[in-house]
Structure 1
């Protein structure tokens, strides 16, 4: 461990007195991270892999020397397939050691592109074509029959594709290659390409939600990932004594950067807890035993995982190694944070990040004051601030203390833009500040608080859903004239998609029929709305634009009214009001009328229901 301690903004400014270039000296690429790690800690375990994610099974391990050798072989394999610095290697894989080989070997050879294997076949094909994929790494019919069933039909639909490598496939189908067999034919001592890296070289493409049906492609440079990994390690003081559990998918920047490159840069160990990670119920049930066995010091998870872990008995497991947990993919209810910390003694550090910022941009300080509900302080070398913009999205001024504005960011971790030029319009403010699309305020001590979103993403369990995917699908229904999708609050998933539709004149269709239709035509299962409301009209602004905040207010009111109804049956009267708030973005006001003897009991019932949500609310009581 180093003597790094961050308590306040002043400590971050002290760290920034050392130029980042000095901290990254000798590192021009992510490949250099593994080269240096193999030199510094050759016999240290870099990666543990549990094939089933079970606490008692034998782990497959790789030292830093072995991991670097496999990454070098993988880069040489791609080079042999004529992958150059501007060519794309895509992977559709669960969390496997070979996923890490592909990820970092792909960046050493060209540009790596992670794709969610849970997507449907047509959407996968569209994404592969979007990036002009040259080599695809995935599972074959024996190792991953369900995935292969989706991938095999699309291979002829991607003209740029030159080779398909199958992991765990001893006898690959005709026209494909065995990843594992081909890997062993490659030398591990040096890159055959002789490539000379620059931090400005592109290294990765990540798909991220946007305002159109096709996800935008965020470009990462080697320098972006190096900076973010370095700053992340500084923030929480990672070192060779740490072990990080990776349960989030390796097609998402959190798994790649936070429980990936950040750990490897610090010489820490990473436990790859099964191919499915947190989606494997067995992993959650054995989580505390895994902590004890591998002496886990930290992990990153979304609120749904923390909520599930609360229900898992800890028994006699020794949790003394666990220093803290990280949460940043979705807002976490303050009550859940408090309950988790009280029950386990484990601190949760809430943070904030976005793919466009490589991964992490802010976090509550590990050694300083943690303010539940806030996203903490900006990471070193990262600038974050809320600003006021005009109706055209042009910068006007910085916000005052506790004034809500658009959150903007700049720093070495901020990406150079999207692959699609049209997606970069109005992306940058006042020169080189990234418009994150989130609304936020900054308090007097520099802590940042999210208050809403300009961009319309629905965040379900940390997974971004583009509402346009839902809206465009619904509007293909012959009876639908207009559709709008928003997120409704959910105590488990954070948000769930719901849709509001206006029917064409003379048309009739039930909400149930529309829900069934949406499930059939929306390519992403998680995006299919569980509720659809047929309405006469959609709310609009004064200039005729769709006003989605009003729909989010309505969806929130409906959810809370439904959940509160059973426990407020004895109240004289009650109602849920939802609207805007100058400090918190959205406010819920629960008005409760009840006779005095019953009132306290009903108030406690309301508090219990509201504890599951990261919503600001006020309770008004009267006789």
Structure 2
């Protein structure tokens, strides 16, 4: 039996005027839930017996998944919350999880938020980094994967746990039941572990699933910790509130409308330690009673997922999925063939810029409409999106969410607000609204994050953007200089610090090199000390040996006589990015058999870094190749 949906948004938002009209009703009168747990409870009441979550561990098993109805999913989340509270997780206590994509990961995220604070940690990190995060976040309990062949998550997590003084225990989740061995999920004895090691399912078993045994969280309570400022590098932990997540999910639905409804399936392939995986393919569809299909514990990286994707879409009648540009690039290599994928209404894309040619080629080959959006952990998840029922503009991040302000601003050299940018004028992107986070848990990390504008606090996103007259926003660069490799944020400082202790190195700067498959690859530029020598191979080996995260390993090291610097003595990284773009253009021209007459890369006021190219003869083959990259190219 289906209940009436709790979210009636009226006609879809198609333009800025609709956003403004929607805001005429005060947000306080909208009746939003007070916590993420209440969002899930309301969503479950819409269609309690309809499927909420389908999971298969191996791509070959996608036709025979493990399935939870909405009532069953809410019950398991409730049992998890009650177990965590019994184990000592209070409202301000932290339960960390180092898990791949599993149903239990969702139990811990939402059950952890109901009981205390859920702290997501990337399972691809090394033990030393995990330990540092556990210590910084003051985690009281850790949930991680039990020992299993082919994965080292347990080994890393337990090594990290040994150095976390606030930790009181470890809960394990086993993959064995998903392989037909339910007896494997029992408590085990682990030598050398100083804290209790318990089975999550064993602890859940004795708890009620029909009610919380404690008071539900309040809107202003901290709900979650997530790492930001780069998924590699030093910990920078963002604290979010229940209402920031609730509001972001609800406001995003004002654009999506009835696409997520009981019986409608959305595919989850992005990691659940990331906000996109948690909200776009979790809380948002479940708020409407929709069905999430979770493919393997490795998501899109799982063996056979990409090659079987269109079969999975056809089988589940998937209406939407979310991916980064590299996912779309990989899917473009898999022919749709005779598969019926007409159910797909949208493909969401964020985390990195979508190359124009990839956008066009994907839509042409598949018929799937891509919706580019913008968001950040500090803004809960989504801040703007191209309206599904309105005009989608390639390269734009769309319109702002209702009730969230978004503006392009001018800042002085000290980072202070001096005014709002004019139409088409590039400035720093700032947001203000209920979705904005509470701040970083380390007070030092909050320096420069907030802007004071007319007595109100705005978040400085660190991104550069421009806005056109009808409200659409366009990103033009990243002031915060993160390198985005396959949607994986890399802090350049991690790479730079790894080579700074080399006796021959005076200065170092890491930037992203455009790449067709990964979006960007890290490269390292070095200036040597006077009269010192070092080979690029030696410097590369030195850096790689000191960077624990493989994704952050630089692909190459380039030694320059002098790194470019600004008038105040700072390294001018855009000049290095220009060198990389120029090198990419020359390589692609050579592979396409196109001779260059002239080539320059400039900082364009509207388009950001722009390659201006003149060729001898037909530029067509080179134009086609460069269309696969995110940077802009102009042929003379």
Establish whether TM, by shorter chain, passes 0.5.
yes
SS in structure 1 at match of 2:439? coil
Match of 1:263 in 2: 285
Q: 1:375, 1:448 within 8 Å by CA — same for their partners in 2?
A: yes
Tell me the CA shift for residue 145 of structure 1: 4.2
Q: Deviations over 1:54-104 (max 9, x none)?
A: 364411111111111111111111111111111111101111000000000
The alignment status of 1:537 with 2:562, answered yes or no, reads yes
**Which position in structure 2 is the counterpart of 1:46?**
52
**For residues 60 and 445 of structure 1, what CA distance do their matches in structure 2 show?**
46
1:4 equivalent in alignment to 2:26: no
Change (3 A) 1:537 1:399: same
Distance change (3 Å), C-alpha of 1:211 and 1:433 = farther
SS state at 1:590 partner: strand
2:119 is the counterpart of 1:113:
yes
CA distance in 1, matches of 2:93, 2:166: 10
User: Are 1:316 and 2:338 an aligned pair?
Assistant: yes
The DSSP-based 3-state class of the residue aligned with 2:238 is: strand
In structure 1, how many angstroms separate the alpha carbons of the residues matched to 2:149 and 2:167?
A: 22
Inter-partner Cα distance in structure 2 for 1:438 and 1:589: 24
C-alpha distance in 1 between matches for 2:516 and 2:142: 38
Q: Which one of the candidate residues 404, 412, 418 is aligned to 1:382? A: 404
Whether 2:580 is the aligned partner of 1:574: answer no
2: CA distance, partners of 1:162 / 1:285: 43
How far apart, in 2, do the equivalents of 1:419 and 1:90 lie? 15
1:587 maps to 2:610? yes
Retained in 2: the 8 A contact 1:382–1:411?
Answer: yes
* Cα distance in 1 between the residues matched to 2:585 and 2:198: 53
Is 1:181 the counterpart of 2:187? The answer is: no
- The structure 1 residue matched to 2:319, chosen from 268, 291, 297, is 297
The answer for the alignment partner of 1:517 in structure 2 is 542
User: Partners in 1 of 2:60 and 2:11 — Cα distance?
Assistant: 34
Which has the higher mean CA deviation after the structures are superposed, 127-136 or 559-568? 559-568
Residue 132 of structure 2 corresponds to 126
1:215 equivalent to 2:231? Answer: no
Match of 2:179 in 1: none
CA deviation after TM superposition for structure 1 residue 576, in Å = 2.6
Structure 1 counterpart of 2:27, from 11, 20, 34: 20
Residue 170, structure 1, aligned to residue 191, structure 2: no
Distance in 2 between residues matched to 1:312 and 1:121, nearest whole Å: 36
Distance 2:128 2:601 in 1: 39
Checking the alignment, whether the CA contact within 8 Å between 1:304 and 1:461 is kept in structure 2 is yes
User: Matches of 1:434 and 1:96 in 2, distance apart?
Assistant: 33
Equivalent residue, structure 1, for 2:143: 137
- Following superposition, the deviation at residue 144 of structure 1 comes to 6.5
- Residue range with higher mean Cα deviation, 411-420 or 180-189: 180-189
Whether the aligned pair in 1 keeps the contact of 2:56 and 2:62 (CA below 8 Å) is no
Q: In the alignment, what sits opposite 1:228? A: 248
Q: Deviations over 1:374-425 (max 9, x none)?
A: 1111112121111111111111111111110000101111112111111111
Kindly state the Cα deviation for residue 241 of structure 1 after the two structures are TM-superposed: 4.2
State which drifts further: 55-64 or 86-95. 55-64
Instruction: Give the C-alpha shift of residue 445 in structure 1.
Output: 1.5
Q: Find 1:356's aligned residue among 366, 378, 385.
A: 378
Instruction: Note the residue ranges of structure 2 that are not aligned, 5 or more in a row.
Output: 175-184, 191-195
CA contact (8 A) 1:211 1:456 kept: no
Q: Is the 8 A contact 1:211 1:455 kept in 2?
A: no
Provide the rounded CA distance (Å) in 1 between the counterparts of 2:633 and 2:62.
45
From 73, 79, 102, give the equivalent of 1:96. Answer: 102
Counterpart-to-counterpart distance in 2, 1:56 and 1:208: 33
**1:265, 1:579 → 2: CA distance?**
46
In 2, the alpha carbon distance for the partners of 1:164 and 1:23 equals 40
- Structure 1 window deviating more from structure 2 (130-139 vs 471-480): it is 471-480
Q: Deviations over 1:357-385 (max 9, x none)?
A: 01011111101111101111111212111
Contact 1:404–1:441 under 8 Å retained in 2: yes
RMSD of aligned Cα (Å): 1.7
Q: Are the equivalent residues in 2 in contact too, given 1:386–1:408 (CA < 8 A)? A: yes
Q: Where does residue 307 of structure 1 map in the other structure? A: 329
C-alpha change, 1:276 and 1:213, in structure 2 (3 Å) is closer
Q: For the residues of structure 2 that align with 1:583 and 1:87, how far apart are their CA atoms? A: 46
Map 1:252-291 → 2, pairs under 5 A: 252-291=274-313
Deviates further, 107-116 or 56-65: 56-65
User: Quick check: 1:405 aligned with 2:430?
Assistant: no
Aligned equivalent of 2:155: 149
Q: SS of the counterpart of 2:262?
A: coil
Q: Residues 56 and 79 (structure 1 numbering): CA distance in 2 closer, same or farther, change over 3 Å? A: closer
Change (3 A) 1:402 1:41: same
Post-superposition CA distance 1:508-544 (Å, at most 9, x none) = 2221222223222101110111011011221111111
Check if 1:617 corresponds to 2:633: yes
3-state DSSP class of the match of 2:59? coil
Superposition deviation, residue 257 in structure 1: 0.8
C-alpha distance in 2 between matches for 1:388 and 1:345: 40
Deviation at 1:189, TM superposition (A): 2.4
Select between 15-24 and 2-11 the one with higher mean Cα deviation: 15-24
Instruction: Determine helix, strand or coil for the equivalent of 1:157.
Output: coil
Deviation at 1:299, TM superposition (A): 0.5
Q: Give the 3-state SS of the residue equivalent to 1:559 in structure 2.
A: helix
